[in-house]
Amino acid sequence: MATIRRSGELLLTIINEILDFSKVEAGKLAFENSDFDLRGTLQSCLELSAGAVPQGGVDLSVEVHAAVPHCLVGDAGRLQQVITNLLGNAIRFTEPGGSVRIRVHPREKAEDRMFLLFEIEDTGIGIDAETQERLFEPFIQADSSTTRKYGGTGLGLAISRRLVEMMGGEIGVESEPGKGSVSHFTAGFGYRPEAEADPGSGSIALRGPPPSESGERNFQISPSLSRKSRRENVLPENPVQRPKLLLAEDNPVNQKVALLQLRKLGYAADAVANGVEVLAAVEQIP
Amino acid sequence: MDCQMPELDGYGASQRLRQRYPDSGLYIIALTASAMVGDRERCLAAGMDDYLTKPLRATDLEDALQRWQKACTHFN
C-alpha cells in the first residue's frame, strides 16, 4: 500500500510540475496578490516537507528576523512552492542526523515593497561547481544516477527560478561537495505596517490561545520535526491569527491535499491520522 | 474529520468529543468518501455540524468554512 501511495504521489508531483512548467514557459501563470502570514506559510512548508524526512530524523528549523513584517502581500502559494522545493531537495540530500535550516532576512525596503532573502542551508552531500551553474535549467540533476537514488523530476528548480524571477528576485546556490549547500533566493512583497497587521476584527477564535505578541524576538520553529514527533509538535505561537483547525485524515496524500487547500484559503491546521489522536489533540487545547 | 479512519473513526471521535466537551464551541466538519443516502444524517447524529464528500473540492471547503464562521458569529 505504502509503495502504491508513494508512486501515486510521485506521479502527481511530476504531472503538477510539468503542468506548472509549461504554464510558466507560456507566461500564463497567474500570481495572486493577497495578504498572508509569512510565519504561517513557513510552518506549512515544514509540515509539507516533514514527510520526506528519513528515518533517524533531520533537524529542521526556521528563523525569521524580527524586522520581517508579519503580514506580507503576495502569492503565498507560489512562495510556498519555491520553499518546499528547495527544502525538499535539502532534506533529500541530507543524511539522517544532519540538519536543514531556513533563514529569512530583510533585504531592501522601499515605501510599499520589501525584498526578503531566504536561505535554506543543509549539511547534505553538496554540489560541485560545474553542476551548480546548470542546476536551475530544466531536467538537470547532479548526475543521472541521482534520480534513482534520490528521486525528483529535475523540473522543480527550473520552476522555482521562474517563480522567483516573477517575484522580482534571484535564485542561486552555494555549495562545496561533502560540506552541504546553501540555496538562496530573494523575493519582493508588499507589506503592511505592523500597526495595521493585526487582523483583530472578525477574528473568531474557536478555542485556543490568543495570538502572542512576539515582535521583539525572532520567530523560531524548532526543535527538530522528525518523522516521529511531527504530529505531536505543538507550536508555541499561533502562526495565523485565525481559528484553530484540526484536520483528521488517515491518508497522507489526502491529508497533504487538504492542508494545501486550507493553506490557500488562509488557514493553518494541525493534522492527525485517527480518532484517538483527535481526542489527544483536543485535550491539549487550553 | 474523516469518517473512515483506523483505531477510532470519525463517528466515534465526534461522539466522544460531544460527550467530553458538551458546551464547547467545537465545530466538526465531516469528510467522507461515501456519498450514500443517510450518510449525512449519520454524521449529524454522531455530533458533527457539517458534511463534505471526497474528493474534497476547494470551493466546497471554502463554503463549509464560511458556514462555520457564520455559526460562530451567531453563537457569540
What confidence tens digit (pLDDT) does each residue in A4-31 have? 776 676 667 667 767 776 776 666 677 7
Task: Tell me: ipTM over 0.85.
Answer: yes
pTM: 0.51
Q: What is the distance in angstroms between the Cα of A31 and the nearest Cα belonging to chain B?
A: 18
pLDDT digits (tens, 9 = 90+) for A56-96: 788 888 999 988 988 899 998 889 989 988 998 898 888 88
Q: How confident is the model at residue A108 (pLDDT cuts 50, 70, 90)?
A: confident
Residue in A closest to B60 by C-alpha: A261
Q: Which residues pair with A188 in a beta bridge?
A: A115
User: Is the pLDDT at A120 greater than 90, yes or no?
Assistant: yes
Q: How confident is the model at residue B59 (pLDDT cuts 50, 70, 90)?
A: confident
- Which residue in A276, A283, A284 has the most chain B C-beta atoms within 10 A of its own C-beta, making it the best mutation to test that interface? A276
Nearest to A250 among B6, B68, B76 (CB): B6
**Higher pLDDT pick, A9 / A198:** A9
Assess contact for A67 and A97: CB atoms under 8 A: no
- Contacts for A92 with CB less than 8 Å, ≥ 6 apart: A52, A124, A150, A151, A152
Nearest to B13 among A248, A249, A267 (CB): A248
Average predicted confidence (pLDDT) for chain A: 74
C-alpha closest to that of A37 among A243, A269, A239, A186 = A239
- Contacts for A149 with CB less than 8 Å, ≥ 6 apart: none
Chain B residues whose C-beta sits inside 8 Å of any chain A C-beta: 1-2, 4-10, 12-13, 16-17, 20-21, 24-27, 31, 54, 56, 58, 61-62, 65, 68-69, 72-73, 76
C-alpha grid cell for residue A139?
531536467
Nearest to B8 among A249, A261, A276 (CB): A276
- Contacts for A200 with CB less than 8 Å, ≥ 6 apart: none
